[in-house]
């Protein structure tokens, strides 16, 4: 059982960790330029894409869960139909994103408060990167499908290709061509299309036999589409609320000032590093839970869940120790701006406790998605965002400023872990009972 988990988790960890590592390198590159406004521009520009692309994260999640269940049922026809529905949604969504880019930009930047210099650069970044939408969303569908097929190696290969290429292009555009934050946007755009082309080649090379099971009428079958839409709707609501909380955190940081925005952006990389690593086990949970849920093997399913939580707890303790005792040294890698370093050191305690209070929420996400029990994820996020995060922010921010902002964010994360644990063990909400 450990071997099955690690066979999926380790490649996922490798592929996931390349994302925050690239972000760290980008921040380190921009952090050593002559002004902090470039870090702020990437923070605000990326914030818009967090809503857009992470909002469409349901494509990867639902595709993984539905595919894994089809694999558990040994249903080859449904395996390819899931991918086709996901790709159709991806390309339709990307067309709308590009078509509506001007109103999206107007609304997004109207809601954020940054300095005029930061906002100008963030807009430039946005209008370049927006054209990566078809490739980005298409990759969501492909990587989710590969994972559901119990293949974590291909997503790892794609992540390495995309991020290594992205890094190389960023260095060329910034140091070779003299671009700034716009160079990061061009590097991202090109790397995303390269990754989608490689993913398509891998699919055709190793899974083209599934194409014979596809037909258009079956893809558009009403009941299957209805279930696909309902699950994706729940994940979308859950994801948008998560992004709202993170984006609210960033927006309030910008309201305090450019330096606080830069500080919180750098410190948030600690959270991203841990989240992408623990997500390796969450993604393994999606694949394995989906497989055994589809096969109705609930004894093995419960053992898988227990073992995944053991791995997650151990990893969270390791990262907490690293952040508490060595977290300050990472700041010197990210920037040589003494003002930012000195202010960031005052808030390291918050990122130090992130791993132990958040790991359960990440793992429960993977478990519930694998079982396509997404209404529970939606409800937990609604409660945590509207009844925990926002009230705690408005109660603490005036007195504690940035410390109140961090406290509210961590309370939000902890509440998700507690609520999902309750949902799993309560008979009225457990997917094990409803199945």
Q: In Å, what is the CA distance from 334 to each residue of 40, 253, 326, 328, 348?
A: 14, 19, 14, 11, 14
Helix (H) or strand (E) holding 210: none
Q: Which is higher by pLDDT, 355 or 27?
A: 355
Averaged pLDDT, 277-284: 89
Q: Where are the domains of the chain?
A: 2-434
Q: Would you state the pLDDT for residue 366?
A: 92
Q: Would you state the pLDDT for residue 124?
A: 86
Averaged pLDDT, 56-79: 88
In the chain, the largest separation of any two C-alpha atoms, in whole Å, equals 64
Q: Would you state the pLDDT for residue 379?
A: 95
- What are the tens digits of pLDDT across the range 110-141? 777 667 777 787 888 889 989 999 999 999 99
Least confident of 44-53, 190-199, 264-273: 44-53
In this model, does residue 34 exceed pLDDT 80?
Answer: no
Q: What percent of the chain has pLDDT over 70?
A: 90
- Helix ranges (H only) for 73-180 are 76-99, 101-111, 116-129, 133-148, 153-171
Sorting pLDDT into bands at 50, 70 and 90, what band is 25?
low
In this model, does residue 257 exceed pLDDT 90?
Answer: no
Q: Which is higher by pLDDT, 345 or 133?
A: 133
Write down the mean pLDDT value for the chain. Answer: 85
Environment class of 133 (CB within 10 Å of its CB; exposed 0-12, middle 13-18, buried 19+): buried
* CA–CA gap between residue 265 and residue 284 (Å, rounded): 29
Contacts of 366 (CB under 8 A, 6+ apart): 279, 281, 282, 283, 284, 285, 286, 289, 308
Q: Which is higher by pLDDT, 321 or 256?
A: 321
Averaged pLDDT, 236-249: 87
Q: What percent of the chain has pLDDT over 90?
A: 36
* CA–CA gap between residue 310 and residue 299 (Å, rounded): 17
pTM of the model: 0.78
Tokens of 311: 């791995």
């Amino acid at each position: 059982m450990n071997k099955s988990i690690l066979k999926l988790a380790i490649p996922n960890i490798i592929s996931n960790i390349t994302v925050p590592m690239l972000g760290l390198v980008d921040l380190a590159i921009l952090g050593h330029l002559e002004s902090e406004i470039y870090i702020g521009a990437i923070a605000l520009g990326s914030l818009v894409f967090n809503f857009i692309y992470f909002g469409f994260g349901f494509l990867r999640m639902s595709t993984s869960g539905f595919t894994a269940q089809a694999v558990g049922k040994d249903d080859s026809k449904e395996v390819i139909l899931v991918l086709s529905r996901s790709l159709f949604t991806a390309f339709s969504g990307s067309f709308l994103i590009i078509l509506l880019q001007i109103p999206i930009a107007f609304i997004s930047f109207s809601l954020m408060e940054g300095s005029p210099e930061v906002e100008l650069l963030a807009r430039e970044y946005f209008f370049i990167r927006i054209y990566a939408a078809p490739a980005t969303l298409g990759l969501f569908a492909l990587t989710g499908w590969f994972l559901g097929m119990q293949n974590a190696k291909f997503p790892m290969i794609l992540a390495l290709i995309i991020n290594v290429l992205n890094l190389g292009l960023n260095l060329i555009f910034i140091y070779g061509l003299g671009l700034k934050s716009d160079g990061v946007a061009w590097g991202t755009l090109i790397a995303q299309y390269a990754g989608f082309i490689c993913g398509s080649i891998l699919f055709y090379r190793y899974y083209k036999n599934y194409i014979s099971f596809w037909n258009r009428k079956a893809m558009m079958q009403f009941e299957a589409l209805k279930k696909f839409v309902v699950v994706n709707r729940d994940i979308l609501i859950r994801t948008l609320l998560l992004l709202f909380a993170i984006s609210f955190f960033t927006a309030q940081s910008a309201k305090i000032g450019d330096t606080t925005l830069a500080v919180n952006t750098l410190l948030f990389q600690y959270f991203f590093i841990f989240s992408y690593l623990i997500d390796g086990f969450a993604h393994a949970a999606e694949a394995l839970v989906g497989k055994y849920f589809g096969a109705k093997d609930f004894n093995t399913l419960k053992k898988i869940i227990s073992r995944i939580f053991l791995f997650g707890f151990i990893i969270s303790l390791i990262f907490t120790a690293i952040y508490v005792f060595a977290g300050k040294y990472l700041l010197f890698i990210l920037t040589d701006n003494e003002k930012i370093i000195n202010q960031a050191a005052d808030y390291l305690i918050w990122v130090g406790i992130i791993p132990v209070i958040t790991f359960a929420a990440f793992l429960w996400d993977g478990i519930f998605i694998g079982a396509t029990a997404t209404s529970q994820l939606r409800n937990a996020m609604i409660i945590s965002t509207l009844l925990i995060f926002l009230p705690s922010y408005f109660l603490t921010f005036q007195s504690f400023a940035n410390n109140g902002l961090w406290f509210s964010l961590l309370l939000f994360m902890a509440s998700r872990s507690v609520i999902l644990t309750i949902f799993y063990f309560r008979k009225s909400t457990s997917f094990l009972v409803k199945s």
